[in-house]
Copies of this chain bind each other. A is one copy, B any other.
């Protein structure tokens, strides 16, 4: 098995990508194709004393920046690490592609180059959401901000397959994010989606309210991309804000910095629960090959875990299973 990794996309530089890839090659038994500027990648491999035969380099001159228009960048920058990587995936050089680069470009490139699975109307971004009871997945996390009920139905099916195959949850519970739990609640979109989900071949739990998200009452949370994006960003913002407010209170009342030091291990253990690096990246589901968006600030550990996640997606034939389940429905 060969995983193609975009070496240029992360905020933390090539170093972290290379270190994560070395760890993955050594520990997971996968081969890695590092796409990007050859001399920089060679330099980093050397610095880390890697002389094995499980990592190869695919040279790409350009880099897509975060402020570029996604679809224009994909069309114009044919020598960018992202486009070269996606094309190598398409041509069968590797089995999966990982990039920490611009989400919009990766999505546009995935749809344009790797293409959608037959029968899939829209690709979705899947976010792994840490909960009280473990981890749930949420989709769509922002790819489709004007969804139709049929998209939500497909998100539910794709999410179920991912959850079962990659997270190992048998018959995962699928919930529809809504303003109330009763069937008749919601806007036009979710009301129509509810009927579709009821008759889909999934373990449909019903509606869930946003207050239940952190509890992990379901395994797969389905929503429109606008709502999904709001949920993820609010979770991030509130986590930081509650955390710093509490720290401030404690520091204020103990009137010394020692209190913060004193509580440090507790805060760290707490933060660990919400550490995205442990969960891998965000898969883009609905494409013909596995494509994973790694967090922009991914370090070596995060890249290694994203590679592990890609490996499971390939081993478990997630794409074929999605294609099967989507087309059974029709």
Contact = CB atoms under 8 A, between A and B. Distances in A.
B237 A213 contact: yes
A235 interface: yes
Nearest to A228: B179
A61 interface: no
Contacts of A214: 234, 237-238, 240-242
B179 A145 contact: yes
A222 to B, nearest CB: 13
Interface stretch (A29-37, A71-79, A244-252): A244-252
Interface in A209-265: 209-215, 225-227, 229-243, 245-246, 249-250, 253, 263, 265
Contact of A179 (B229, B235, B266): B229
A106 B170 CA distance: 44
Contacts of A215: 237, 241
- Interface size range on A against B: 35 or more
A188 interface: yes
B242 A230 contact: no
Given A230-B230, A238-B214, A253-B269, A245 B145 contact: no
A226 B224 CA distance: 11
A187 interface: yes
Contact of A266 (B186, B230, B231, B250): B250
A232 B230 CA distance: 11
Contact of A142 (B179, B235, B245, B250): B179
Nearest to A209: B233
Interface of A: 132, 142, 145-146, 177, 179, 186-188, 190, 209-215, 225-227, 229-243, 245-246, 249-250, 253, 263, 265-267, 269-270, 273
6 contacts: A179-B225, A215-B241, A230-B230, A239-B242, A246-B246, A246-B270
Given A226-B227, A230-B231, 11 more contacts: A186-B226, A209-B233, A210-B231, A210-B233, A211-B236, A213-B237, A227-B230, A234-B238, A242-B243, A245-B270, A246-B270
